[in-house]
Structure 1
Amino acid sequence: MYVSQFRKRSLLPVDAATAFAWHERPGALQRLMPPWEQTQVIRPPNGLAPGTRVELKVRIGPFPKRWIAEHTRYMPAREFQDVQVAGPFAKFEHTHRILPRDEKSSWLEDEIDYAPPGGWLGNYFSGQFIRQQLQRMFRYRHAMTAADLAAHQWGKTAMKVLVTGASGLVGSALCAFLTTGGHEVLRLSRSAPRDANDIPWNPETGDITPARLEGIDAVIHLAGENIAGARWTAKVKQRIRDSRVVGT
């Protein structure tokens, strides 16, 4: 097996404990996935403790591929590691480290030991491409981590936020941003609830459980007909308007 190593280190604008807590919260994985990768989270991780797994659907060229990773090492406020159990690589071990620098900053370090399938021949044909992809991906991941952590410093008081349209392009990204900042996010949902944070809601009839709305600090209303889903005929424009006015 031909094993290569990739490593990237960046400075973060917060202390090590704050940076590590960001990685432990729900939504961190979604915030770290580059949009061009078209990766789908099938089963999100339930924490970072050894034995927990995450299942993804990734694309290798035009072909979908299942990727299962298992967390194998966990050092609170310092590092965690995940290892590919099933996926496109012959070996993929990813160690995430948060290293203290001073009271207001820390180092983020990602270290990956990987081997493409096919031994030396696979490395000969795909080695350079894989390294370029890792460089591009982790430039994005490190920039996103630093930007989110900096943004969260403006509002350190945890809030209880209600979001409609949480499954949309903007809503899903916003929910992940809020949860990694330590906020509790409840989602008004017209579909069957996925977990305890989903609140059933029928905007046409107004059906909702008022008790579930107690203690809400803020409401972000994003629900509405997709404006890019069809040609803007008179009927479609009416649906777009009604989906926003009636729900509000």
Structure 2
Amino acid sequence: MRDRVLELLSDPPAEPDWSRGYLDLIGGQPVASTGAIQSLWLGPIGSAFYANALPFWSRLTDEYRASLELLEAVDGSTVLDVGCGPGTLTARIGELVQPSGLVVGLDVSEPMLTRAVHATGSENVAYVRVDASLPPFEDETFDAVFSSAALQLFEDPFAALDELLRVLRPGGQLVLFTPCRGRGPFRIVSSVLASVGGVAMFDPRELPAALKARGITDVRQRVGGMFQLVDAYKQATPSRL
């Protein structure tokens, strides 16, 4: 499985570091944070809180629960989970693609990835420590790209979106679960998260418009409260006669 991951990298390391159970492409380099929320997730307390809050969050948010239901991953699929956190959803995607598929989870947080490695028993799931907004893979590598509650934490979400589309194969599926600016009382929460937490709060029309501007024509969106679920398909390469 580790060899399969290395084969997907655009610049594989000469001496891969899997000593912690995940491939570390950062090592001791400093990690920049975009705000209070990401700083929390980078530490052990925040990672523990996040992992324990996921079951509650999944009951609270229909869009979160539906994200895996929309993902069309099957046996043999190669799936990238961007900003995988403690690996809760990554492991479940691994079950969808068994026995011959591969799931790669990306995250920058050491505590999150440590939890992910310990919580994942499937041999077809691997984790990589890297800036998840810059997937270190060859172009058009994955059958599906999945990202839950991560895009809003990247310094430049739309540059990250370009990267996610770059590594997605023609005809492949992109599934994004992110917050968006809510109305009424949700607008106040949105403002606080953006100003204090460093969280990008997307306008409900923003991500579908960004995808269409990038040539993605098959886009669906579901909005609930201050969350949204977007899935889209990268246009297959036209056949040449």
**TM-score, structure 2 length as denominator?**
0.28
**TM-score, structure 1 length as denominator?**
0.27
Structure with more of its chain in strand, by fraction: 1
